[in-house]
Amino acid sequence: MPHTHRANKLHALALTALLLIGSTVVVGASTTQVLDLTRAEPPGHSLGVPGMSVGGAGGKGLSSTYSLPLGLRITTWGVESDAPGEAMVVHLAVTNLSAARFELPSCVDQGKAHALGMKRRRTFHFSFQFSSAGMKGTAEETTYASATFSSASAPECSLMVQPGDSVLVRVGVKVPPSLLEAKPGNLHIYLRAICWEYLLEDGRYYVESASGRVQSNVVEVHLQ
């Protein structure tokens, strides 16, 4: 059964204050790394969509060749204003389920991580599936949210996640207009997060392989 929570400004602001203390959150004796993707992106140029043998953007049409050793869970969520059309802020726990260290891409400046000559370039994607209460499982709509970048040549663009540890990722996403138009006012929706990655070729800006998709739990959200 999906977890239910009423999204509101106070809920979002309370957790935001905790997250923005620094790059880590301390709970008892443990420390959790935080990746905040809602902040303004730094100056830099985008390299655009990489070439690929099949399909296009958004992770569709490209066959996966490996699995990510990750668990993904929506922990909490909220809205930035009283208008449902404004961006929701969703907090995700990305957990390393393997017995080895996982390097999570963390740079939002693509040029910093994917410049010409850099090795083992990776792009990590986040998207969200929305559906209204009356359409669960029949008419879902997917919204692309954010991407992060890394390479072996830029170790500062990766967060090192030890086995069993998690990174708290803060992502902004807008509710699809079609759902807002279908049910104006008090909106009742289901939300699921998805993540996956691309590994790029070293010699050219081209996708070498793609991971399978990792899906989160489903949460039930009320927007007013």
Confidence of residue 100 (pLDDT cuts 50, 70, 90): very high
Q: Where are the alpha helices (DSSP H) in the chain?
A: 9-19, 110-114, 177-182
Cβ-count burial of 127 within 10 angstroms (0-12 exposed, 13-18 middle, 19+ buried)?
buried
Note the pLDDT tens digit of each residue in 128-168.
Answer: 999 876 544 445 789 999 999 999 999 999 999 999 999 99
Q: Which of 145, 142, 152 is nearest to 199 (CA)?
A: 152
Q: Which residue has the tokens 């993904």?
A: 72
Residue 50, pLDDT above cutoff 60: yes
